[in-house]
């Protein structure tokens, strides 16, 4: 795997490959890699000739009181994991060269950035779309792979790509979970032993919602109640949100209609570590 730190070096590497007509896939990450990230790399390898991964802890997507400083970083281990997963190129920019002095552009998707995580993190998605726009401008991939774990991020980026008519195909990869159901996340290492034992209950709460929907519950208010009650019963957890929304607009719904896709989504704080998870719901 080639490791490059500047956009120019990356473009120099990619240009001849693109000229040959090779298909370039891109997996952006913030590092502290786990099996969830590596599943995206594998997916990318299947669909493309060249897999580019980036690791950049993007300061723009952290609020002033959030965990930017505490965000886990382990580049040596990440490089080892990416080599094992057979990524081709790692783009590892540092903050100063990535956002040089004078950088003043923001890319913001309005309505989709507001509900769910956008409520607690009002500047988060503008940070995400700005960094993804910048990364797409540098890498210019044919394919971009994002995880369902950050479903709102996927929808916001999808909207940006559609609105700006960028020639990149977006693919969503499924959530990879620990054996006990906890969605893998770089932030899981920040959980205490007891919090780690409680955290899989987020997934169990989402499954209760799915079971209720499968058994015929169509009222979004009832499903939300089931989700909220189960999350509130988790010891040491503070529920940030528990919502049932339309999977495309991310807006609240009243009733689940057949052949449409909905999203049960949750964010829960354990101390100051905020975990998110979600589940798609479809009823016949
Ligand atoms: P992050 O490093 O948290 O910014 O995540 C980078 C990419 O990995 C995003 O597209 C995430 O949605 C995806 N990702 C993170 N955790 C998981 C997971 N457990 N399963 C699948 N994809 C994930």
> Of 25, 33, 37, 40, which is the active-site residue?
37
Q: Work out the angle between the directed axes of helices 7-19 and 124-139 (0-180°, nearest 10).
A: 50
Which of these, 139, 41, 49, lies nearest to 87 by C-alpha position? 41
Which of these, 284, 283, 280, 260, lies nearest to 207 by C-alpha position? 280
Output the pLDDT for position 76. Answer: 98
CA 71, 67, 251, 172: dihedral to nearest 10 degrees?
A: -10
Asked if 34 is an active-site residue, the reply is no
| Residue length of the chain | 284
CA 73, 74, 80, 84: dihedral to nearest 10 degrees?
A: -40
Ligand 1 atom with least separation from CA of 185? 16
Q: How far is the CA of 128 from the centre of ligand 1 (A)?
A: 13
To test ligand 1's pocket by mutation, which of 68, 150, 171, 265 has the most ligand atoms within 8 angstroms of CB? 150
Sheet hosting strand 24-29, strand order edge to edge: 2-4, 89-91, 50-55, 24-29, 143-147, 169-173
145 lines ligand 1 (CB under 6 A): no
147 lines ligand 1 (CB under 6 A): yes
Extract the residue ranges of the chain whose pLDDT is less than 50. Answer: none
Q: Which residue is closest in CA terms to ligand 1's atom 22?
A: 147
Q: 15: part of which helix (H) or strand (E)?
A: helix 7-19
Output the pLDDT for position 194. Answer: 98
Output the pLDDT for position 254. Answer: 98
Query: What is the greatest pairwise CA distance in the chain?
Result: 57
How does pLDDT run across 216-246, given as a tens digit for each residue?
999 999 999 999 999 999 999 999 999 999 9
Q: How far apart are CA 91 and CA 79, in angstroms?
A: 11
Q: How far is the CA of 176 from the centre of ligand 1 (A)?
A: 9
Q: How far apart are CA 27 and CA 211, in angstroms?
A: 33
The dihedral through the CA atoms of 13, 18, 19, 22 has a sign that is positive
184 lines ligand 1 (CB under 6 A): yes
37 lines ligand 1 (CB under 6 A): yes
Output the pLDDT for position 67. Answer: 86
């Amino acid at each position: 795997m080639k490791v490059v730190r500047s956009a120019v070096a990356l473009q120099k590497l990619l240009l001849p490959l693109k000229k040959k007509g090779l298909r370039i896939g891109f997996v952006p990450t913030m590092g502290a890699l786990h099996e969830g990230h590596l599943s995206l790399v594998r997916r990318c390898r299947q669909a493309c000739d060249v897999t580019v991964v980036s690791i950049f802890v993007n300061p723009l997507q952290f609020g002033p009181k959030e965990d930017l400083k505490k965000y886990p970083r382990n580049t040596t281990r990440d490089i080892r994991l990416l080599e094992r997963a057979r990524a081709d190129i790692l783009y590892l920019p540092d903050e100063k060269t990535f956002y040089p002095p004078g950088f003043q552009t923001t890319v913001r998707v309005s309505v989709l950035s507001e509900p769910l995580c956008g409520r607690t993190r009002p500047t988060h998605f503008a940070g995400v779309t700005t960094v993804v726009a910048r990364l797409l401008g540098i890498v210019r991939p044919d394919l971009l792979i994002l995880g369902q774990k950050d479903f709102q991020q996927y929808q916001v980026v999808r909207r940006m790509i559609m609105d700006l008519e960028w020639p990149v195909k977006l693919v969503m990869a499924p959530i990879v979970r620990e054996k006990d159901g906890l969605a893998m996340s770089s932030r899981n290492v920040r959980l205490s032993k007891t919090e780690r034992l409680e955290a899989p209950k987020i997934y169990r709460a989402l499954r209760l919602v799915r079971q209720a929907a499968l058994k015929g519950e169509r009222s979004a208010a009832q499903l939300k109640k089931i989700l909220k009650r189960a999350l509130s019963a988790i010891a040491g957890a503070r529920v940030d949100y528990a919502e049932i929304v339309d999977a495309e607009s991310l807006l609240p719904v009243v009733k689940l209609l057949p052949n449409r896709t909905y999203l049960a989504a949750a964010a829960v704080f354990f101390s100051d570590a905020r975990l998110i998870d979600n589940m798609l719901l479809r009823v016949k």
